[in-house]
Amino acid sequence: MKALLHEAPDLKAGLEKELNRHFGRKWTLTGIDGHVIGEKQGFVCQIYRLVLSWKHDEEGGADQPLTVIVKFPQLAAQTELIKEIFHKFDEAATKPEEQSSHHFVIRMHNDECLFYSLLEGSVPPFPLATFYGLVDIGKPFKMLLMEDLTGSACLTNDLLHGLSDEQVYSVVDALNVDVTVMLRAGLAEARKMTSDKMSCDEFDVIESFLSRNTLHEWYVTTVKLMPAVLVHGDLWSNNILFERNESGQAGNKVKALIDWQACCIGSSLEDVAHFLCGALSTPRRRAIEEAILQHYLTRLIERVGPMPQLTLGNVRRQYRRCFRQNAYMLLSLIPMLIGNVIDTNVPDGAERKDELISRAVNACHDAMSFM
């Protein structure tokens, strides 16, 4: 907690201001305490769960949040592998003042802040932690202030055992709400608000590669089959909170999708492909894939009505294009994931490692068969 207050000495005043703005009150915050959560679950952020103390003689005290989550860029204390990757990133930058890993991390955080601001009050309500505001701490970024869901929701430890069918369908339905919000609001409005801040450099690299080989024609004929929306960009099981069941474990219903640092404008099937590619074992993914695409299309048409692009053929072709991209990306990320996000220092560590590699290799085999 001392490190946090050193980073943001005026944190208490900033929290009080943003929470009063959100709730429309004039409460007095008397104290804060807290600790880091989510360690080893990400590379570029620091997350704290804060316990708040309020002045008790004010009206509406029952509404006062007693705990909140704050999130901000992690610019130090990364693992050795991440330090090495960022060092190579900096060496390759042609404009160090704009393209350094430092600026990259801040930009990702600011993208997430922008996303929460954009979706605040959306209809239908999007499965997110409630956004309370952005706390100004006098830096090139602001702290993201959110509802604390640790008591009502949790992650799944699914790498070996996998998500249940009910959980998979709940995730797809949550993504369907995202697409519904974007299609109703209009992508033009999203682009106006995001400007060029959500551009994804890695997609530029992929485009450049595709333009020089025989995949290009196939790629460009599928890229515009489905409407473009804001996509999560990193949707796998560690970024999905499920409602806790009676035993305190992850239930079948999605509570919130988290960690929107990689959000960008892209295909409406991008997140579905990313999720199925990395979150399910190969046999289960292959068995459920077609039914998921049909379910996705049916639910989307129910929400937004018929559209010329919304056909099963278009959904399938766009999914396969997105799946190819995610399969190759998953394979390339294995050295970064193992031992960092995927903990192998556990009794079933070897099995977890083998399962991840198996998913990535088989995804690449399937991606080639989609051509």
**pLDDT tens-digit profile of 95-129?**
656 557 777 788 889 989 988 987 777 666 788 99
From 70-79, 81-90, 284-293, 339-348, the region with the lowest mean pLDDT: 81-90
**Tens digits of residue pLDDT in 35-62:** 998 765 555 788 999 999 998 765 655 6
Sort 62 into a burial class: Cβ within 10 Å, 0-12 / 13-18 / 19+.
exposed
CATH architecture for residues 156-369: Alpha-Beta Complex (3.90)
State whether the Cα torsion 146-150-152-156 is positive or negative.
positive
- Say how many C-beta atoms besides its own lie within 10 A of residue 289's C-beta: 19
- Say whether pLDDT at 198 is over 60: no
- Say whether pLDDT at 204 is over 60: no
- Say whether pLDDT at 145 is over 90: yes
Joined together, the tokens standing for residue 86 give 């960022």
Label the pairing between strands 131-136 and 142-147: antiparallel
| 220 Cβ contact partners less than 8 Å away, ≥ 6 residues apart | none
Residue with tokens 């929470």: 19
What is the per-residue pLDDT for 67? Answer: 98
From 88-102, 169-183, 194-208, 332-346, the region with the lowest mean pLDDT: 194-208
Please state the domain extents for the chain.
Answer: 2-147, 156-369
Q: What is the pTM of this model?
A: 0.84
Nearest to 356 by CA among 366, 336, 324, 367: 336
- DSSP state at residue 249: S
Highest mean pLDDT among 80-94, 144-158, 243-257, 306-320: 243-257
What are the start-end ranges of the E strands in the chain? Answer: 29-37, 45-54, 67-73, 131-136, 142-147, 153-154, 228-231, 240-244, 250-257, 264-267
Of residues 344 and 58, the one with the higher pLDDT is: 344
Helix-helix angle 312-337:349-369, to 10 degrees: 140
From 92-106, 136-150, 159-173, 340-354, the region with the lowest mean pLDDT: 92-106
